[in-house]
Each structure stands twice: as structure tokens, then as C-alpha cells.
Amino acid sequence: MSSAAVGRATPARDRVTLALRVWGVLVYAFLFLPIVVIVIYSFNNGRAMLVWTGVGLDGYRTGITDPTIQNAVKTSVVAAAGTSVIATILGSLAGIALARRSGKWTIGFLALVFLILVTPEIVVAIALLIWYVRIKGPFGPGMTTPVVSYGMLRLWAGHALFATAVVTLIVRARLAGLEETFEEAAADLYATPWRRFTQITLPLMMPAVLAGALLAFTFSLDDTIISSFVSVAGASPWPVYVFSAVRNVLRPEIASVSTLLLLLTLFAIVCVAVVLRNSGQSTEDVAKTITVGG
């Protein structure tokens, strides 16, 4: 606010502000160009995405009814939900330990987290595939696992790796920024460790946990590399389907399903934003929680 007021004073400032605004608009155009292209091409009635034949809803019709696509999207959602749950639990616990029980062990643990984040995903993907094939057990076709297939277990284990590392760092950052005085006060008032956790620590770290859960979910949905290596036929997620289409023929239904998925994601995000807003955060805080994790 005040900087804008200062900015008004000199014409040179105004020119800078104008240039920055133009730049901002250009960056938004750059960011949204591919999305607009996908939405436009989702209405292409041709058989191949790149050959424009006419406007129509054929892509949507095929996309919604094709059983392979249905299965791929379902696999993606189940994989993302599982990843989110696993990463949120493991990452939150590790984050609490790092922020509240730090010691010599922290260095080693953080080094491992750092290593996970700097190792190219393609290396992890290949390593995991070779590892799964070697250890078999619940990750191989031989053993029948309850509830989920071994393909899904492979996806969960792989996706949750990066997601847990990220959630750990977010929760740690959140708790490190808060003094332990509330917990201490509760302890002085004879609150049991469990009550201290549920009534003090958990509410304090909730924004970070929510942001972490959301990030883990989107990370899993977004992941193509690990999925395309470790997934198995019948349990391959949506990006793997698209990947094989890129190598063969790109059809318009890929754009149509992507458009629908974007709308669904936006809807989910708006719901989360509304919940956060109703809990008393400003629009800016909400945007920050969702985008940069508090």
C-alpha cells in the first residue's frame, strides 16, 4: 500500500510499475497458453488431436465411456488418495520429531530427505522397479494382497517417498516457527501428552498438515516418471495412459479428460479454500497455504 503511494509521487516509478504490470500480464499469458490450447483441442472432433477436423463433443463422449480411460483415472485417484494419507501421517510425525525432538539424529535424517529431493526422479523410478522385481513379496505378482493390488502398492510406496519428504519439511518449518510455550503451558496445567498433542500441537500444525496432504495428493496425480516405470497393466494411472498415447497416437479425448480433471481439481481447491476461509484466514493466507504451504 505505502509503496504504491510512494510510487505515485514520481513519473519514473509509474513507468516501472506499468512495465511490471505488462510483464505480469505476459507471464500469465505464457502460463495459461497451454491450458487454453488443451481446452480448445478438447473440442476437436477428429481422430487425431493434431489434425483439426471440426468442433464437437466426441472427445468428451469417448473419454467418459472408454473403460481403459475410466480405469486409468480411477487408479490415479486411488493412488493419490493413498499417497496423501501415507505421506501426511509419516511426514507429520517426522516433522514433529524434527522440530520438537531434535538432536544428533536430525542431521542424518535431513541428509536423507535432502538426498531424496536431489536425486533425479528417473533414477529413483528405475531403482524402484529393479527393487520391486527383486523383493517380490507384496510388490510382486506372486502374492495375493488384501484390499489393493500389488500394482497399487508399488505406486503408493514410490509416490509417498517424495511426498513424505515434502510433508516432513513443511510440518517441520511450521512447528519450528512456533514456540513451544503453548505445549509447555499445557504440560504445566497437567495435560497428558496425548491431550497436549490433540489440543495444542495438532491445531497449531494443521495448516501445514492440510497443505502437505494437498501437495502429496497433487504430486501423486502429477507423477508420470515413477508411475510409468513401476505401474503394471490394469493398474496404470492416467499419466501412463497419456504417455503411451504420446508415443502412438494422440487422440482428442486426452485433452477432453484433462479438461474435466482440471475442472474437478479446481472444484476441490475452491472447496478447500472456502473451508480455510471460513476458518478465518484471508484470501492471501489461503492462497499461500495452498500454494506454498503456509
Partner 1 sequence: MATVAGSARGARKIRAPRFALAIPAWTWFVLFFLVPVLWIVYYSFGYKPDIFSPIATDKLSLARYKEGLSSSFLHVFSQTLQISIIGTLLCLLIGFPFAYWLATRVSARWRGVLLGLVIVPFFVNFLIRTVAWLIILAPNGPVSTLMQRWGLRSEPLHLLDTRAAVQIGVVYNYLALMIFPLFVTLDRLDPAMREASKDLGASRWGTFRQVTLPLASTGIIAGLLLVFIPLTGDYITPLVLGGAKGNMAGAMVASQFVAGQNWALGAAQAMILIFLILGTITVFALVGLAIRSIARSRRAIVLPTAAGHTA
Contacts (CB under 8 A) with partner 1, residues 6-25: 6-7, 12-13, 16-17, 20-21, 23-24
Kindly write out the interface string for residues 201-240 of this chain, putting x where it contacts partner 1 by CB under 8 A and - elsewhere: -----------------x--xxxxx------------xx-
Minimum CB–partner distance for residue 148 and partner 1 (Å): 16
Question: 55, 123, 202, 271: which one contacts partner 1 (CB under 8 A)?
Answer: 123
Question: 142, 246, 278, 280: which one contacts partner 1 (CB under 8 A)?
Answer: 246
Q: Which residue has the cell 475452491?
A: 270
Q: Give the count of residues interacting with partner 1 (CB under 8 A).
A: 104
Contacts (CB under 8 A) with partner 1, residues 23-82: 23-24, 27-28, 30-35, 37-38, 41, 49-51
Nearer Cβ to partner 1, position 64 or 245? 245
Nearest-CA neighbor of 252 among 77, 115, 66, 86? 66
DSSP states of 139-195: GSTTSPPSSS-HHHHHHHHHHHHHHHHHHHHHHHHHHHTS-THHHHHHHHTT--HHH
Question: 46, 64, 148, 243: which one contacts partner 1 (CB under 8 A)?
Answer: 243
Kindly write out the interface string for residues 76-105 of this chain, putting x where it contacts partner 1 by CB under 8 A and - elsewhere: ----------x--xxx-xx-xxx--xxx-x
- The values of phi and psi at residue 55, to 5°, are -85, 135
- Taking a C-beta distance cutoff of 8 angstroms, is the pair 76, 237 a contact? yes
Contact segment (CB under 8 A) with partner 1 among 62-70, 77-85, 112-120, 201-209 equals: 112-120
Question: 69, 73, 80, 128: which one contacts partner 1 (CB under 8 A)?
Answer: 128
Q: Is 148 in the site for partner 1 (CB under 8 A)?
A: no
Beta partners for residue 55, in sequence order: 44
Contacts (CB under 8 A) with partner 1, residues 169-198: 180, 183-184, 187-188, 190
- The whole-angstrom separation of Cα 73 and Cα 67 is 10
- Which contacts of 13-17 are long-range, i.e. CB under 8 A and separated by 24 or more positions? none
Alpha helices in 42-66, H assignment, sequence order = 58-65
Q: Is 147 in the site for partner 1 (CB under 8 A)?
A: no
Q: Is 254 in the site for partner 1 (CB under 8 A)?
A: yes
Minimum CB–partner distance for residue 102 and partner 1 (Å): 8
Nearer Cβ to partner 1, position 126 or 178? 126
- The whole-angstrom separation of Cα 2 and Cα 13 is 13
Q: Is 285 in the site for partner 1 (CB under 8 A)?
A: yes
Which secondary-structure segment (H or E) carries 204? helix 202-222
Question: 73, 80, 161, 209: which one contacts partner 1 (CB under 8 A)?
Answer: 161
Q: Which residue has the cell 499461500?
A: 288
- The whole-angstrom separation of Cα 128 and Cα 140 is 12
Q: Is the dihedral of CA 9, 11, 12, 18 positive or negative?
A: positive
- The whole-angstrom separation of Cα 166 and Cα 213 is 10
Minimum CB–partner distance for residue 146 and partner 1 (Å): 20
- The whole-angstrom separation of Cα 180 and Cα 96 is 11
Q: Is 288 in the site for partner 1 (CB under 8 A)?
A: yes
